[in-house]
Amino acid sequence: MSDESNSLTVGVVRETFPGESRVALIPDLVPALDRSGLRVCVESGAGRAAGHLDDEYTSKGAEILSDRKAIFERADIITQVRGLGANPEAGQADVGLMRKGQTIIGQLDPLTEPQTCQTLADAGVTSFSLELLPRITRAQSMDVLSSMATIAGYKAVLLAADHLNRMFPLLMTAAGTLAPARVLIIGVGVAGLQAIATARRLGALVSAYDIRPAVREQVESLGAKFVELDMDTGEAEGKGGYAKAMGEEFYKRQRELMAEVCAGHDVIITTAAVPGKKAPILVTAEMVRRMGPGSLIVDLAAERGGNVELTKTGETVVENDVTILGPENLPSSVPYHASQMYGKNVQTFLQHLVKEGQLQIDTEDEITRDTLITRDGQVVNERVKEALNPGSSGGGAG
Task: Identify the helix (H) or strand (E) that includes residue 325.
Answer: strand 322-325
CA dihedral 234, 209, 192, 20 (to 10 degrees): 90
| Angstrom distance (rounded) from CA 152 to CA 134 | 20
Secondary structure of residue 27 in the 3-state scheme: helix
Secondary structure of residue 169 in the 3-state scheme: coil
| Angstrom distance (rounded) from CA 40 to CA 79 | 10
| Angstrom distance (rounded) from CA 349 to CA 145 | 14
Return the closest-CA partner of residue 178 out of 168, 170, 186: 170
Angle between helical axes of 190-201 and 144-163 (0-180°, round to 10): 40
373, 384 Cβ separation under 8 angstroms: yes
Return the closest-CA partner of residue 182 out of 261, 74, 245: 261
204 backbone dihedrals φ, ψ, rounded to 5°:
-75, 160
Q: How far is CA 154 from CA 21, 41, 239, 271, 309, in A?
A: 18, 32, 26, 12, 23
| Angstrom distance (rounded) from CA 387 to CA 398 | 13
Return the closest-CA partner of residue 14 out of 6, 23, 26, 1: 23
Return the closest-CA partner of residue 226 out of 209, 202, 245, 249: 209
Secondary structure of residue 172 in the 3-state scheme: strand
| Angstrom distance (rounded) from CA 185 to CA 207 | 6
Instruction: Point out the residues that are catalytic.
Output: 135, 140, 143, 146, 242
| Angstrom distance (rounded) from CA 167 to CA 47 | 36
168, 181 Cβ separation under 8 angstroms: yes
